[in-house]
Amino acid sequence: MLYRPSLRLLSATALLATLSSAVKVNPLPAPREITWGSAGPIAIGELSLTGADSDSANAQLVTDAFARSWKAIKDLKYYPQATEAPIPTYAEFPGATQIPWKPAAPASKQKRTTPLSEVHLKVEDWDADLQQGVNESYVLSIGDGGHTIDITSSTAWGALHAFTTLQQLVIYENNAFSIEQPVTIKDEPMYPFRGIMVDTGRNYISTDKLKEQIDGLSLSKMNVLHWHLDDTQSWPVELKTYPQMTKDAYSAREVYTQDCIKDIIQYGRARGVRIIPEVDMPGHAYSGWRQVDESIISCGDSWWSNDLWSYHTAVQPNPGQLDIINDKTYEVVEKVYKELAGVFTDHVFHVGGDEIQKGCYNFSEPITKWFADNSSRTYNDLVQYWVDKTWPFFMDSTDRKLMLWEDVVISGEHANIDPKNIILQSWNGDVVNIKNLTNRGYDVVVSSSNWFYLDCGNGGYVSNDNRYNTQINANLEDGVPNFNYGGIGGSWCAPFKTWQRIYNYDFTEGLTDDEKSHVIGASAPLWTEQVDDTIISQKVWPRAAALAELVWSGNRNGEGKKRTTELTQRINNFREYLVASGVMAAPLMPKYCLQNPHSCDLNWDQDALNKLPGAP
Ligand SMILES: *[C@@H]1O[C@H](CO)[C@@H](O)[C@H](O)[C@H]1NC(C)=O
Ligand SMILES: *[C@@H]1O[C@H](CO)[C@@H](O)[C@H](O)[C@H]1NC(C)=O
Ligand SMILES: *[C@@H]1O[C@H](CO)[C@@H](O)[C@H](O)[C@H]1NC(C)=O
Ligand SMILES: *[C@@H]1O[C@H](CO)[C@@H](O)[C@H](O)[C@H]1NC(C)=O
């Protein structure tokens, strides 16, 4: 049995207000444009889809998606806890000594009783594939007195978004379905790349839980699951070329067979979610690879930290990097890449490129000799060597776009890469790095760790850590507590990033229009050192939904003002919707707050957010 908090018991006051009126549900993400008329709610009968009669395989996909949406409407019987209602402003109460906050109850309306039963769909280009930049726009309208719900979209993928909007608009009350109307929604995303990253190298995540993330992504109109497949700790991916690699899976059961990868890809595609694989190279590489040939790994047997930081070979246990000078490395990397590029269908393949540790390569004979042979060589030359050797086979088709962590062009050890065919994922330096990369012509996906990392604030996980043994607040560095007692508690990117933090990130601030045009979207990473099936959904949801709206329609209203406060009710309702849909999203507040909009605001002043220093 699913836990279904959205089957709410109406509170007495809400009951009066809603007896004969449907509500204008604000879907998440907020559409770019939504216009409500005032005719009032209309009943919904058994809905059927017309217009999906193309020969294209995508027509069947859309038909199936509609059937799923309609089933979800019927199974969930959704009614939101409450809807956003603006509260009075100070100006309305000059000289008041007591400040009221209760929003006005929605006016009652007579329900039209001839039910709507047809969803008419018109898709301009049925064949457009689900790839980077595909048009996802749609228009959904229910005209005053009309007899159909009309949806037009450029592609099948826009139609899927229209369905998830419809799912949130239809409500159930007094034993019947209805929808507030007339309504017209004109919608399309601001950014083409909207996603999360899930790491299945640190801990295994089951395919069921991966599908649960895809469900959340599709309901929030995100379109990318970036799958960080492996890391030094484990290799969970079946390869026919090198079956021995999964000896380094955590167990025989914690393996993704190619059939199950294909199943995930198909599951995602059916819901408009692209699966972008990542094999992190040449750093973060040990498990799996070493089973093919020990010699392609450097420093796999070193002690990672050595207490003395100058001797560290990795930023976390366990160490290992691919040996860049060993020719054998490229033979193995090419075969692994080629096989996986044949399994994954997305044109974007993420080839890692982050956090190369110089100390690791002291353990490589070929590399120390390579440096000794020519004293002018630098670590930049070494990274360039990797790029020059791998690009010819990484760029295996004209459609191919490689995605990499920004380190490969901006860290202390970097290469020069032609911006044309790559996408960089920026996780350091906030807008400074985003500006730097876009200025140099690189397309950027924003994953700034100070804003979007979903794993932060959970404390440190490495054991035998004497820093936890401080009994008094004396663990000071330059007079500032640096670990416990007000410090970071061992989490390098503390604190926890709340939904408000995520939503408030203005990641293109200070960029020129040309630089802005190179920001193609954002993705929230979840590293899984301390995450597995038991808590993954609570870690991702509903916080990722704040990101979903940020990259779909932005964090500002039509007047350019921050609308984070207005998101509160949407995200609270959406969290209930996720849980009811089987996505185990964490609660954000006491339920009282969602049943009583604005009662839990910190500031009564609804414009408070725009009065922070630096805000317009
Ligand atoms: C998507 O298609 C719609 C309708 O044809 C169009 O108005 C819109 O500009 C397109 N969006 C993009 C990003 O090309
Ligand atoms: C690697 O070698 C360099 C130069 O010899 C040295 O400074 C550095 O401390 C060494 N690092 C490790 C981890 O051994
Ligand atoms: C030595 O390395 C430098 C820096 O990469 C390079 O410019 C130079 O051509 C190399 N010299 C030889 C003899 O390979
Ligand atoms: C980008 O950052 C690099 C490394 O910090 C720096 O050398 C370069 O000048 C910067 N470029 C731009 C355009 O800001």
pLDDT tens-digit profile of 496-535? 999 999 999 999 999 999 999 999 999 999 999 999 999 9
State whether the beta carbon of 379 lies less than 6 angstroms from ligand 2: no
Q: How far is CA 76 from CA 82, 167, 223, 288, 492, in A?
A: 16, 10, 23, 43, 40
Residue closest via CA to ligand 2's atom 11 equals 359
State whether the beta carbon of 469 lies less than 6 angstroms from ligand 3: no
State whether the beta carbon of 377 lies less than 6 angstroms from ligand 3: yes
Ligand nearest to the CA of 383: 3
State whether the beta carbon of 137 lies less than 6 angstroms from ligand 1: yes
Q: What's the gap between Cα 518 and its chain centre?
A: 19
Residue closest via CA to ligand 3's atom 5 equals 377
Strand ordering across the sheet containing 148-155 = 33-36, 183-187, 138-142, 148-155, 112-125, 42-50, 176-179, 171-173
Atom of ligand 3 nearest to the CA of 374: 1
Exposed, middle or buried: residue 412 (CB in 10 Å: 0-12, 13-18, 19+)? Answer: exposed
**Pocket of ligand 4, candidates 410, 413, 512, 514: which has the most ligand atoms within 8 Å of its Cβ, to mutate?**
410
Ligand nearest to the CA of 133: 1
Atom of ligand 2 nearest to the CA of 306: 13
pLDDT at 477: 64
State whether the beta carbon of 175 lies less than 6 angstroms from ligand 3: no
State whether the beta carbon of 411 lies less than 6 angstroms from ligand 1: no
The two three-digit tokens of residue 403, written as one number: 């995605």
Amino acid in position 153: S
For every residue of 50-77, which 3-state class applies, written as one string? ECCCCCCHHHHHHHHHHHHHHHHHHHHC
3-state secondary structure of 256: strand
State whether the beta carbon of 310 lies less than 6 angstroms from ligand 2: yes
Q: In what helix (H) or strand (E) does residue 260 lie, and over which residues does it extend?
A: helix 258-270
pLDDT at 226: 99
- Angle among Cα 550, 554, 559 to the nearest 5 degrees reads 150
> In sequence order, which ranges of 323-413 are alpha helices (DSSP H)?
327-343, 365-373, 379-394, 407-410
- Asked if residues 87 and 608 have their Cβ atoms less than 8 Å apart, the reply is no
Block residue for tokens 């990117």: 493
The two three-digit tokens of residue 576, written as one number: 């209930």
State whether the beta carbon of 135 lies less than 6 angstroms from ligand 1: yes
For every residue of 387-454, which 3-state class applies, written as one string? HHHHHHHHCCCCCCEEEEECHHHHCCCCCCCCHHHEEEEECCCHHHHHHHHHHCCCEEEECCHHHHCC
pLDDT at 189: 98
Tell me which of 355, 406, 509, 559 is the catalytic residue: 355
pTM of the model: 0.94
CATH superfamily of 193-463+481-552: Glycosidases (3.20.20.80)
CA-closest candidate to residue 572, choices 562, 557, 586, 583: 586
Amino acid in position 431: V
Q: Collect the ranges in the chain with pLDDT lower than 50.
A: 1-22, 616
Residue-wise burial string across 146-158, b where 16 or more C-beta atoms lie within 10 A, e elsewhere: eebbbbbbbbbbb
- Asked if residues 321 and 298 have their Cβ atoms less than 8 Å apart, the reply is yes
State whether the beta carbon of 187 lies less than 6 angstroms from ligand 1: no
Cis peptide before 88 (omega within 30 of 0): no
Ligand nearest to the CA of 515: 4
Dihedral, 593, 599, 604, 610 alpha carbons, nearest 10: 20
pLDDT at 137: 98
Exposed, middle or buried: residue 175 (CB in 10 Å: 0-12, 13-18, 19+)? Answer: exposed
- For the chain, the domains span 11-187, 193-463+481-552
Q: How far is CA 87 from CA 83, 561, 606, 607, in A?
A: 12, 17, 8, 11
Q: Please list, in sequence order, all residues whose beta carbon lies within 8 angstroms of the beta carbon of residue 149, skipping any fewer than 6 positions away.
A: 47, 116, 118, 119, 120, 140, 141, 142, 166, 179
Strands 171-173 and 176-179 come out as antiparallel
Atom of ligand 4 nearest to the CA of 440: 13
**Pocket of ligand 2, candidates 310, 362, 369, 370: which has the most ligand atoms within 8 Å of its Cβ, to mutate?**
362
Catalytic site includes residue 355: yes
Alpha-carbon distance 580 to 345, whole Å? 31
pLDDT at 1: 33
Ligand nearest to the CA of 371: 3
3-state secondary structure of 153: strand
Block residue for tokens 């379109």: 223
Architecture of the CATH domain 11-187: 2-Layer Sandwich (3.30)
Block residue for tokens 């969803």: 119
Alpha-carbon distance 332 to 328, whole Å? 7
Q: How far is CA 533 from CA 34, 208, 248, 259, 271, in A?
A: 37, 9, 20, 20, 21
Q: How far is the CA of 543 from the centre of ligand 1 (A)?
A: 28
Strands 42-50 and 176-179 come out as antiparallel
Pocket-forming residues, ligand 4, beta carbon under 6 Å: 410, 436, 439-440
The two three-digit tokens of residue 430, written as one number: 């906030």
State whether the beta carbon of 375 lies less than 6 angstroms from ligand 3: no
User: What size, in residues, is the chain?
Assistant: 616
Q: How far is the CA of 553 from the centre of ligand 1 (A)?
A: 15
Atom of ligand 2 nearest to the CA of 313: 13
State whether the beta carbon of 188 lies less than 6 angstroms from ligand 1: yes
Strands 422-426 and 321-322 come out as unpaired
Q: How far is the CA of 410 from the centre of ligand 4 (A)?
A: 7
Q: In what helix (H) or strand (E) does residue 514 lie, and over which residues does it extend?
A: helix 513-516
Q: How far is CA 529 from CA 192, 239, 395, 464, 552, in A?
A: 29, 24, 31, 16, 30
Q: How far is the CA of 358 from the centre of ligand 2 (A)?
A: 8
CA-closest candidate to residue 340, choices 396, 272, 406, 267: 396
Ligand nearest to the CA of 374: 3
Q: Please list, in sequence order, all residues whose beta carbon lies within 8 angstroms of the beta carbon of residue 151, skipping any fewer than 6 positions away.
A: 119, 120, 121, 122, 138, 139, 140, 159, 162, 166
Residue 610 backbone phi and psi in degrees, to 5: -90, 5
> In sequence order, which ranges of 120-256 are alpha helices (DSSP H)?
156-169, 207-219
Q: How far is the CA of 361 from the centre of ligand 3 (A)?
A: 19
State whether the beta carbon of 113 lies less than 6 angstroms from ligand 3: no
State whether the beta carbon of 191 lies less than 6 angstroms from ligand 1: no
Residue closest via CA to ligand 4's atom 8 equals 436
CA-closest candidate to residue 245, choices 261, 260, 255, 278: 255
